[in-house]
Amino acid sequence: MVSESARNVRVVALASGKGGVGKTSISVNLAVALAREGQRTMLVDTDFGLANAAVMLGVNPPDTIEDVLEGRLPVEAAMHVTGDGLRLLPGASGVLADTAPLETANRRLAEGLRRQSETLDFVIVDSPSGVQPQTMRYLAMSDRVLLVLTAEPTSFMDAYATVKLLSLDHGYTAVSVISNMVDSEASGRDLFGRFHDVASRFLPADLRYLGSLPRDEHMRMAIMRKQPCVTAFPESRATAGLARLAQALAAHDIPPSSGGSRFLGLEHLDGVA
Ligand SMILES: Nc1ncnc2c1ncn2[C@@H]1O[C@H](COP(=O)(O)OP(=O)(O)OP(=O)(O)O)[C@@H](O)[C@H]1O
Q: Which atom of ligand 1 is nearest to the CA of 180?
A: 1
Rounded to the nearest whole angstrom, what is the distance from the C-alpha of residue 176 to the centroid of ligand 1?
19
* 19 belongs to an annotated ligand binding site: yes
For 217, counting Cβ atoms within 10 Å of its Cβ (0-12 exposed, 13-18 middle, 19+ buried), the class is: exposed
User: Is residue 263 predicted with pLDDT exceeding 50?
Assistant: yes
Q: Where are the domains of the chain?
A: 12-266
CATH top-level class for 12-266?
alpha beta
Three-state SS at 59? coil
Confidence of residue 101 (pLDDT cuts 50, 70, 90): low
- Ligand 1 environment, Cβ below 6 A: 16, 19-25, 52, 128-129, 180-181, 213, 215-216, 219-220, 223, 238
* 25 belongs to an annotated ligand binding site: yes
Q: Which atom of ligand 1 is nearest to the CA of 128?
A: 25
Residue bearing the CA closest to ligand 1, atom 26: 19
Three-state SS at 2? coil
Q: What is the tens place of the pLDDT at every residue in 156-202? A: 999 999 999 999 888 888 899 999 999 999 999 999 999 999 999 99
Residues sharing a CB contact under 8 Å with residue 205, sequence separation 6 or more, in sequence order: 163, 166, 167, 173, 174, 175, 199
The mean pLDDT value of the chain amounts to: 88
Tell me what ipTM this predicted complex has: 0.98
**CA separation for the pair 137, 269 (Å, rounded):** 9
